[in-house]
Chains A and B, each alone.
Chain A
Amino acid sequence: MRTIYFIIWKEFKQIFRDKGMLPIIFVIPIIQLLILANAATFDIKNIKVMIIDKDNSSTSRLLIAKYDASNYFKLVGTTFSNEIADNYLADGKIDMFIEIPANFERDLVRQNMNKMMIVVNAVDGTKGNVGMNYSTSLMNDFNQEIRQKFSTINTTFISNTEEINIIQSNWYNPELNYKIFMVPGILVLLVAMIATFLTAMNIVKEKEIGTIEQINVTPILKYQFLAGKLIPFWLIGMFELAFGMIIASIIYGITFVGSIGLIFLFAAVFLIAVEGLGLFISTISDTQQQAMFIAWFLLVVFILLSGLFTAVENMPGWTQNLTYLNPIKYFIELIRMIMLKGSGFEDTKIHFAVMAFFAISINTIAIWRYKKTV
């Protein structure tokens, strides 16, 4: 016991003395949380649009005004020339353009219908789609308005408004605030990164600078040495999580619907699992460079398969099956469930069971592979 305590004491001494590592552990996560949560947004705003107004009537100007007033669009300008709009689109100066044909208003009044063309740059599929959807709903609005306007002049505009009205309501995240959705996930990433990297690097560093040779010749037991290594980073991981949650609630005003205790309970198991992963990485690498590369590679795979940025449900079947092996996915799912929906232990016990299984199996393999020889 005294030995473990001493190794932990030594580890903390070394961490706090390392002028390079200290900021990495404490400052960078904050910065990442501040920046990443804003960068990782699916809200698409400021779609750059140009309107080719060949009609130049009050109706066409009404439509232009609607685009101009919308938060989602940024009206780059109007023109009479398709060629200019084409060039702008090709140069990436605009994301889409709308062509209002000549005599648009006249034909609309006469024939009670008319056509417009919307051209969207679909290189960024999501942005193109969203731009298209926003445009459709904007057009619907516009339709309603001109219907009312013209029905007072021309009786043929019979106001046949839709009989079924769809009203949307978003549960658990009523304002569709992506930060509420993203921040818990980013918290998980930070904790996972800190725990995996620090554990792997720390042990490999001892190999690299040779201190492990001196330690290995001592009667210290494997479990004492490893416990002394894992416990400090476990504590730092828990601290990071608490720290991140405080930042999340102060800066992003995120409230925790469910039990915070349950999140920490899960984090406790999760940290053991990812530290086991770090330990395993350290047993298969001889230099910090190798460890860094392996850890980074695994984390990128885990992050992309975690459902943080893209919904797991949208992935092909075999990829979805792969995500069952991803510890980060379970924590992201669970923290969102608890923080946003207020799920309890009953709803998350599968997550707990799987994570406990990960923690035990990864550590068993890692400890079995860890040898007190050079």
Chain B
Amino acid sequence: MKTIIETNNINKSYGAVTALHDINITVNDGEIFGLIGPDGAGKTSLIRILTTLILPDNGSANVLGLDIINDFKSIRNEIGYMPGRFSLYQDLTVEENLKLFATIFGTTIEENYDLVKPIYSQIESFKNRKAGQLSGGMKQKLALSCALIHKPKLLILDEPTTGVDPVSRKEFWDMLKDLKKAGITILVSTPYMDEASLCDRVALIQGGKILSVSTPQSIIDAFPKKLYSISADNMHKLIIALRNFEFSNTVFTFGETVHYTDRRNSVIQTGEIMKYLQNNDLKEIKINEINAGIEDCFMEMM
């Protein structure tokens, strides 16, 4: 399998803050690689290094076999990049934006129309509307079209679904899957843990460090403990009670329930926990053993 991105011990700090610490990842040809982590984890810094916008303090990286420091000009020709913030000209129309980026890459809309068609055709009826007047979902489609207009081999997307409604998010991931079928390798960052399962492989990143790189399934399979979903009538009291429980390992809220792991590796008597909670004046207690999700794995690794 061909390697598209390879980083070797990349470090980056801004003053006293270390944004990236010894980052080593490899992205293979034709996969959707997810960079998953909360805000401030270092996702954008890593992406900006790989797109040659900033330089690492030390360490090296290859993108499409090109060195990010010495061959940055060639890299810029080969990759498609969609920044986290909508970065097209809001006072130019949809068509003008696309035309501009086609021209900068020395191509025309017609030449590569087949690649952007599935996406661009959805917004083509608004081609005379200014980009600033588009809805969030349409802006995404336009930005993606502009990033694809020069037929890049690698597409790098920085939090493309942040702040996008659930329907548009799903649509967006469907588009990415289609692009993958067209042979484009995709590196995508997201703070949404539930999107991890849509990637072929993911890297969990936190505090500038890579916690784990694997397929979403093997990350979940590697979850070391039994996980319980617990709910009761008083959420706040429930959390405090569980945190004070002598065997408690991790206690996190997850929607309307609390995800709980125990410190003991042996078989756990749920009745024991139930009894403890009842003693703490909690009612309507429900305890279920569940399968871990990516978010639980993330919390476990932190």
- B110-143 to A contact mask, C-beta < 8 Å, 1/0: 0000000000000000000010000000000000
Interface residues of B in 210-265 (CB under 8 A from A): none
Does any Cβ of A come within 8 Å of B100's Cβ? yes
CA distance in complex: A216, B48 (Å) = 11
- Which of A127-135, A140-148, A206-214, A303-311 sits within the interface? A206-214
A24 to nearest B CB, angstroms? 16
CA distance in complex: A7, B55 (Å) = 27
Contacts of B54 in A (CB 8 A): 373-374
Contact A215 B104 (CB under 8 A): yes
Contact of A3 among B51, B83, B103 (CB under 8 A): B103
Contact of A219 among B76, B85, B89, B100 (CB under 8 A): B76
CA distance in complex: A13, B85 (Å) = 23
Q: How many residues of A contact B (CB 8 A)?
A: 23
Does any Cβ of A come within 8 Å of B200's Cβ? no
Does any Cβ of B come within 8 Å of A115's Cβ? no
CA distance in complex: A13, B130 (Å) = 12
CA distance in complex: A216, B53 (Å) = 7
Contacts of B23 in A (CB 8 A): none
Does any Cβ of A come within 8 Å of B87's Cβ? yes
Contacts of A217 in B (CB 8 A): 51-53, 76, 79, 81
Interface residues of B in 66-84 (CB under 8 A from A): 73, 76-77, 79, 81, 83
A17 to nearest B CB, angstroms? 5
| Given A17-B91, A214-B81, A217-B81, A6 contacting B52 (CB threshold 8 A) | no
- B96-110 to A contact mask, C-beta < 8 Å, 1/0: 100111011110000
| Given A13-B96, A210-B83, A374-B48, A6 contacting B103 (CB threshold 8 A) | yes
Does any Cβ of A come within 8 Å of B199's Cβ? no
| Given A211-B87, A374-B53, A218 contacting B105 (CB threshold 8 A) | yes
Q: Which residue of B lies closest to A18 (CB)?
A: B91
- A302-322 to B contact mask, C-beta < 8 Å, 1/0: 000000000000000000000
Contacts of A220 in B (CB 8 A): 104
Q: Which residue of A lies closest to B73 (CB)?
A: A219
Q: Which residue of A lies closest to B48 (CB)?
A: A374
Identify which of A14, A215, A218, A220 gathers the most chain B CB atoms within 10 Å of its CB. A218
Contact A218 B51 (CB under 8 A): no
Identify which of B54, B92, B104 gathers the most chain A CB atoms within 10 Å of its CB. B104
Does any Cβ of B come within 8 Å of A110's Cβ? no
Contact of B53 among A14, A17, A373 (CB under 8 A): A373
Contact A214 B100 (CB under 8 A): no
| Given A218-B101, A219-B73, A209 contacting B90 (CB threshold 8 A) | yes
A236 to nearest B CB, angstroms? 17
CA distance in complex: A213, B87 (Å) = 7
Contacts of B105 in A (CB 8 A): 218-219
Q: Which residue of A lies closest to B86 (CB)?
A: A210
B75 to nearest A CB, angstroms? 9
Does any Cβ of B come within 8 Å of A106's Cβ? no
Q: Which residue of A lies closest to B103 (CB)?
A: A6
Does any Cβ of B come within 8 Å of A10's Cβ? yes
CA distance in complex: A217, B53 (Å) = 7
Does any Cβ of A come within 8 Å of B144's Cβ? no
Contact of B76 among A2, A17, A218, A374 (CB under 8 A): A218
Contacts of A3 in B (CB 8 A): 103-104, 106
Contacts of B61 in A (CB 8 A): none
CA distance in complex: A211, B92 (Å) = 12
Does any Cβ of A come within 8 Å of B184's Cβ? no
Does any Cβ of A come within 8 Å of B179's Cβ? no
Interface residues of A in 7-41 (CB under 8 A from B): 7, 10, 13-14, 17-18
| Given A3-B103, A13-B96, A373 contacting B55 (CB threshold 8 A) | yes
Q: Which residue of A lies closest to B83 (CB)?
A: A213
CA distance in complex: A13, B92 (Å) = 8
Does any Cβ of A come within 8 Å of B46's Cβ? no
CA distance in complex: A196, B79 (Å) = 35
CA distance in complex: A7, B104 (Å) = 9
CA distance in complex: A341, B89 (Å) = 48
CA distance in complex: A17, B89 (Å) = 12
- B37-56 to A contact mask, C-beta < 8 Å, 1/0: 00000000000100111110
CA distance in complex: A108, B85 (Å) = 89
Identify which of A2, A10, A217, A220 gathers the most chain B CB atoms within 10 Å of its CB. A217
Contacts of A210 in B (CB 8 A): 83, 85-87
CA distance in complex: A215, B51 (Å) = 12
B32 to nearest A CB, angstroms? 20
Contact A2 B87 (CB under 8 A): no
Interface residues of A in 206-251 (CB under 8 A from B): 209-220
Contact of A10 among B51, B73, B86, B96 (CB under 8 A): B96
Contact A214 B92 (CB under 8 A): no
Does any Cβ of A come within 8 Å of B35's Cβ? no
CA distance in complex: A214, B79 (Å) = 12
Q: Which residue of B lies closest to A218 (CB)?
A: B104
| Given A17-B91, A211-B89, A373-B55, A219 contacting B104 (CB threshold 8 A) | yes
Contacts of B76 in A (CB 8 A): 217-219
Contacts of A10 in B (CB 8 A): 89, 92, 96, 100
Contact B48 A14 (CB under 8 A): no
| Given A213-B87, A214-B87, A214-B146, A6 contacting B104 (CB threshold 8 A) | yes
Contacts of B87 in A (CB 8 A): 209-214
Known: A6-B100, A18-B91. 10 other contacts (CB 8 A): A3-B103, A3-B106, A6-B99, A10-B92, A13-B91, A210-B85, A217-B81, A219-B73, A219-B104, A373-B53
Q: Which 8 A-B pairs have the closest CB atoms?
A: A214-B87, A6-B103, A217-B81, A210-B87, A219-B77, A210-B85, A218-B104, A219-B76
Q: Can you list 25 A-B contacts (CB < 8 A)?
A: A2-B106, A6-B104, A7-B100, A10-B96, A10-B100, A13-B91, A14-B92, A17-B91, A17-B130, A18-B91, A209-B87, A210-B83, A211-B88, A211-B89, A213-B53, A213-B85, A214-B83, A214-B101, A214-B146, A217-B76, A218-B105, A219-B73, A219-B77, A373-B54, A373-B55
- Could you tell me which A residues sit within 8 Å of B by CB distance? 2-3, 6-7, 10, 13-14, 17-18, 209-220, 373-374
